Amino acid sequence: MTRIAITALTFGALAVAMALGVTWFVVSPPGDRWEPAVNSFALLAGITGIFAERWAAQREQRNQAIGSIRLEMARNRETLDGEAFSASASRGRRVYPRLVQSAVDSALSSGALSPHRDADLIDLLHRWRTAVASVNRRLELTEMLVFTSASEEKAEQFHTALHRANGFFQGVRALLDEAQAALGDPVRP
């Protein structure tokens, strides 16, 4: 509420000053119009400068958010393509690396992305965020099951499920491909 009041007061004062400056320019004698003209242009520059600064700040915040998300997606790609998730990896008990989502969380909560301009990207990032949370939770549960079980069979079953065609992790990889393509990053072959 305070921000709205300050904005209304600022722009109201600038609008009144601009109207008075233009009126001053119109009613002043032809030889004395330099001062009201300079005053009006200074006010016009102030008004447009406020909008330009806000636009530039939002654009910079969006670019930083997109850059952070790209780095995070690349790190997640390395994790998923890494040795731990490889089909040729050891099938024994192990602790798997987790996917990260802090840049996505930050971008979604900060308002750096425009709900109008980035609607599709925001929807995709929400789906990605849900997938990452699900992957990490599944890994935790599986590790608890594998490490508390006396048999090696559980680890083997998990390894098989991890690399199954059309399985959960294939869907996560496809979603990562889609997210990286939406961000303009090259998609893996």
Mean pLDDT taken over the chain? 89
The stretch 40-49 carries a mean pLDDT of 90
Check if the beta carbon of residue 91 is closer than 8 Å to that of residue 159. yes
Q: Is 188 left (phi over 0), alpha (psi -120 to 50) or beta?
A: beta
pLDDT at 52: 94
The stretch 28-55 carries a mean pLDDT of 90
Residues near 45 by Cβ (< 8 Å), separated by ≥ 6? none
The stretch 165-184 carries a mean pLDDT of 89
Alpha carbon separation from 162 to 38, 87, 135, 158 (Å, rounded): 70, 8, 11, 6
Tokens of 42: 């200074």
Q: Angle at the Cα of 60 (from 56 to 61), degrees rounded to 5? A: 120
pTM score: 0.78
Tell me the C-alpha distance between 85 and 142, whole Å: 14
Of 131, 124, 132, 136, give the one whose Cα is nearest residue 179: 124
First and final C-alpha spacing in the chain: 51
The stretch 59-82 carries a mean pLDDT of 95
Check if the beta carbon of residue 37 is closer than 8 Å to that of residue 25. yes
Q: Is the dihedral of CA 85, 71, 121, 184 positive or negative?
A: negative
Q: Which of 64-68, 79-83, 143-147 shows the lowest mean pLDDT across its residues?
A: 143-147
- In which band, very low, low, confident or very high, does the pLDDT at 106 lie, cut at 50, 70 and 90? very high
